[in-house]
Amino acid sequence: MIAIEQRPVSEIVGDVFEGLTRTPKSLPPRLFYDAAGSALFEEITRLPEYYLTRTESGLLQQYARAIAARVGTNVNVIELGAGTAAKTGTILKALSQRQLRVNYYPVDISVSALQVAAASLEANLPQVRVHPVATNYIADSGFLDSVVGKKLVLYLGSSIGNFEPDEALDLLHRMRAHMDVGDYLLLGTDLVKDTSVLLPAYDDAQGVTARFNKNVLARINRELGGNFDLDLFRHVALWNPDRSRIEMHLESTLDQTAKVKLIGLEVPFKKGERIHTENSYKYTIVSVRDTLRSTGFAVESTWTDENACFGTHLARAV
Ligand code: AVI
């Protein structure tokens, strides 16, 4: 395994300085995912309101054999942002019933998550050979070239939804550039639906998502000597219908000034002023098809649950 260090502090400094000195204030969602934030995200995936993870898992379980039949044999599986690969076993199992050995390349920036993935898959699926790749797949898709033969790239969990539309197109273009005609992409997208379902998924009753959102301030306190008082900020989740996205913000509940000691920054807030922390874009089946078509893929099948909450799309590189 190629080990990559934790995010250097300097990058956090840049994100924090830029984000908190611009108007309106914003912080990139990548700042959520330190150890505490990743644990909170795991908790979110088990919440009753957060339908995404369990719906996608159900779809993968239900359609794994159909997916395996579609992609054919001698396939190498690459999973971007694999984490602990909790949802992937079902696909790998279906593939291993059709080919002698399955090479699986989980790609993630977290070495510890990759170790968990490798240990559990190797114990449960002996036909699967795990080749962990510890890297930032967003910055560099070049590792795809080291996988020889036919590829099935998995990009699950609606991760694509956290990119701005132009960034999502760019990422898909770059992936496609390292794939051959006939390779496959399995993409998981959350779908547009009623706000009575969407909003609670991002503002749950137990307040886990609020803690996840506020962890970005806690992280600035921990790593950069900040003095943000988390109780003086309110978690806000709203649906922006014009942009087809859920937005998360942190709203100051009063006029206040926070300090970030390590970078000598004073950050004034008016009461009601917000820091924009995340967008989570929701697609339609048509918008996914258009997005994939414009980046060199043709959707062969889309599977959704009975409430059309989530989409699993199998697309062929053309
Ligand atoms: C990781 N990503 C797909 C999650 C989402 O639903 O956009 C992140 C998240 N933010 C709040 N809850 C979950």
pLDDT for 222-250, tens place per residue?
999 999 999 999 999 999 999 999 999 99
**What gap in Å lies between CA 37 and CA 34, rounded to an integer?**
5
Q: Is the pLDDT of residue 4 over 60?
A: no
Cα-to-centroid distance, 175 and ligand 1 (Å): 22
Q: Cα torsion at 38, 43, 47, 50 (round to 10°)?
A: 10
**What gap in Å lies between CA 275 and CA 253, rounded to an integer?**
12
Q: What is the mean pLDDT of the chain?
A: 95
State the pLDDT at residue 141. 87
State the pLDDT at residue 10. 59
pLDDT range class, residue 6, cuts 50, 70, 90: low
What is the average per-residue pLDDT within 205-211?
A: 98
Ligand 1 pocket test: pick from 55, 56, 280 the residue with the most ligand atoms within 8 Å of its Cβ: 280
* Number of alpha carbons in the 13 Å side-chain half-sphere of residue 187: 29
Q: What is the DSSP string of 222-288?
A: HHH-B---GGGEEEEEEEETTTTEEEEEEEESSSEEEEEGGGTEEEEE-TT-EEEEEEEE-B-HHHH
State the pLDDT at residue 312. 98
pLDDT for 257-285, tens place per residue?
999 999 999 999 999 999 999 999 999 99
Pocket of ligand 1 (CB under 6 A): 44, 52, 157-159, 161-162, 202, 209, 278, 280
State the pLDDT at residue 300. 98
**Ligand 1 atom at minimal distance to the Cα of residue 201:** 12
Q: What share of the chain is helix, strand, coil (3-state, %, to 5)?
A: 40, 25, 30
pLDDT range class, residue 84, cuts 50, 70, 90: confident
pLDDT range class, residue 5, cuts 50, 70, 90: very low
Ligand 1 pocket test: pick from 40, 41, 84 the residue with the most ligand atoms within 8 Å of its Cβ: 41
Q: Is the pLDDT of residue 11 over 90?
A: no
Instruction: Name the closest-CA residue to atom 1, ligand 1.
Output: 159
Q: Is the pLDDT of residue 99 over 80?
A: yes
pLDDT range class, residue 83, cuts 50, 70, 90: confident
Instruction: Name the closest-CA residue to atom 10, ligand 1.
Output: 202
pLDDT for 34-63, tens place per residue?
989 999 999 999 999 999 999 999 999 999
Cα-to-centroid distance, 100 and ligand 1 (Å): 36
Please state, in angstroms and as integers, the Cα–Cα distance from residue 277 to each residue in 7, 74, 98, 175, 237, following that order: 18, 42, 44, 26, 10
State the pLDDT at residue 237. 98
For the chain, percent of residues with pLDDT exceeding 70: 97
State the pLDDT at residue 9. 60
**Ligand 1 atom at minimal distance to the Cα of residue 41:** 13
State the pLDDT at residue 8. 53
Contact 172, 144 (CB under 8 A): no
- Does this model's pTM top 0.85? My answer is yes
Cα-to-centroid distance, 280 and ligand 1 (Å): 7
Q: Is the pLDDT of residue 183 over 60?
A: yes
Instruction: Name the closest-CA residue to atom 12, ligand 1.
Output: 202
Cα-to-centroid distance, 172 and ligand 1 (Å): 19
State the pLDDT at residue 140. 85
What is the average per-residue pLDDT within 192-221?
A: 98
The number of residues making up the chain comes to 318
Closest CA to 284 of 314, 230, 237, 245: 245
Q: Is the pLDDT of residue 309 over 90?
A: yes
Cα-to-centroid distance, 41 and ligand 1 (Å): 8
